[in-house]
Structure 1
């Protein structure tokens, strides 16, 4: 397959300079740019930029692989730093470029007004909240009622997204080799009258979640960084998608190293 590259970048001044150097190195290596039908998508910026790149090319996941170049601190989806461009471009000239894949979340939104269901993909997570009021929703696992949730909302994440919002609401960090999704409650109400499990749960790729919402016009649903407009939503279904995201693995950092670097840092620095 012919190597063709697309570049997705943010608008930061440093990123603009990095993209300029990257384009020059790609031209010198004889690697063409093709933003319409690329085989490699290079994200330059941070994790947010890579999320944007993913959604821009999510219809071409079977044809493309991703590379992340970070222009700030190390991110979870970025393997290369801005001063390593020459090494990165050289790695693309290998005859056999290997890849590593991660699971994605399939989101299907149903509507009370008969509007056709909307299908989306999430690389990180999807959340459901309800304005400034308590959200009440029935949570089904594989068509069986599991609990009636009352609280601020729900977060459903992929393994790679488990280090994002999921972690901040008490969810577990999952290794991306686990083909599963995680449901975490956001400030659930638990007392003698209202009860939920109150703990994050991990759902296998053989199961699915269905969230049945009470009628309301103030739900706030997100899929990664995208805000989904409210239009009489009544159900949201989640499962592990058949599609997967693929990253070029010539220099793919160990997941637990990423976790340590992001949340713990240099352990020797904490020694007493």
Structure 2
């Protein structure tokens, strides 16, 4: 088994990483940062997302394991004090993965140039100081003429991130669906959009045709300044991300812990 560890540089994280390396060395693992079978991230969700993009060309052949050393994360199954149990579980059973869908974004410019991106959480199209005007298509049928700050398209795993802060629904990651939420849409007698999140089927796609020559596109929070774009096509990718399935935590437990908490917790 070839393993690599991706981590942030927080003091607590570095202690966990040092301990984790000792445990793995006792198992005689091969540390391979170039072609790993397993990527263990230590930090938070941001650390795992960064590792996902680092290994994006190998993503379908890698299993990810997240250890969090800060606030509760949605991609980090294990706490720092559970590292010994995690290593034991990793070597005491056959590998099993939970496969979650990814978002594919195809940006096509006016000159016909095509750029392809993959996102674990979401991609947003927006303008910073001006209104975004765009035509939105579902499949090849015009759905709405949007005016507002922007639009966000998210995966089920990303539904608890930026999407949720925009009023989108939380979707279980085993569902292969895309969700689009509006960012501060303008609705009056002249301009009208749905003003509600929409969830589309896995064999459908969303096309955004901007009616402006300059806007910002984000991929998992990374910013791209885009000019002269003809359209952006969003769909479920045929690639997936594989998380090592330990049965350690459950999605709805994470949602409950992150956003609701225990009823006896102080407000």
Q: TM-score range by the shorter chain?
A: over 0.9
Paired position in structure 2 for 1:35 = 33
Question: Is the contact made by 1:140 and 1:209 (CA closer than 8 Å) also made in structure 2?
Answer: yes
Distance 1:43 1:73, change over 3 A: same
Query: TM-score scaled to structure 2, two decimals?
Result: 0.97
Q: What's the offset of the Cα at 1:261?
A: 0.3
**Cα distance in structure 2, aligned partners of 1:148 and 1:270:** 45
| 1:188 is aligned to 2:172 | no
Q: What's the offset of the Cα at 1:22?
A: 0.9
Q: What's the offset of the Cα at 1:177?
A: 1.4
Paired position in structure 1 for 2:261 = 265
Unmatched 5+ stretches in structure 2 = none
1:64 pairs, out of 62, 72, 75, with 62
Q: What's the offset of the Cα at 1:234?
A: 2.4
Unmatched 5+ stretches in structure 1 = none
Question: Is the contact made by 2:132 and 2:212 (CA closer than 8 Å) also made in structure 1?
Answer: no
After the TM superposition, which residues 132-147 of structure 1 pair with which residues of structure 2 at under 5 Å, given as runs? 132-147=129-144
**Cα distance in structure 2, aligned partners of 1:252 and 1:50:** 17
Question: Is the contact made by 1:215 and 1:234 (CA closer than 8 Å) also made in structure 2?
Answer: no
Q: RMSD value over aligned CA atoms? A: 1.4
**Cα distance in structure 2, aligned partners of 1:111 and 1:21:** 48
Q: What's the offset of the Cα at 1:46?
A: 0.3
Paired position in structure 1 for 2:243 = 247
Aligned length: 267
Paired position in structure 2 for 1:172 = 169
Paired position in structure 2 for 1:73 = 71
Structure 1 range deviating more: 42-51 or 246-255: 246-255
1:61 partner SS: helix
Q: What's the offset of the Cα at 1:215?
A: 3.2
1:102 pairs, out of 85, 94, 100, with 100
Paired position in structure 1 for 2:224 = 228
- 1:110-130 residue CA offsets vs partner (Å, 9 max, x unmatched): 11133x211111100001111
After the TM superposition, which residues 142-153 of structure 1 pair with which residues of structure 2 at under 5 Å, given as runs? 142-153=139-150
**Cα distance in structure 2, aligned partners of 1:53 and 1:231:** 28
**Cα distance in structure 2, aligned partners of 1:233 and 1:43:** 35
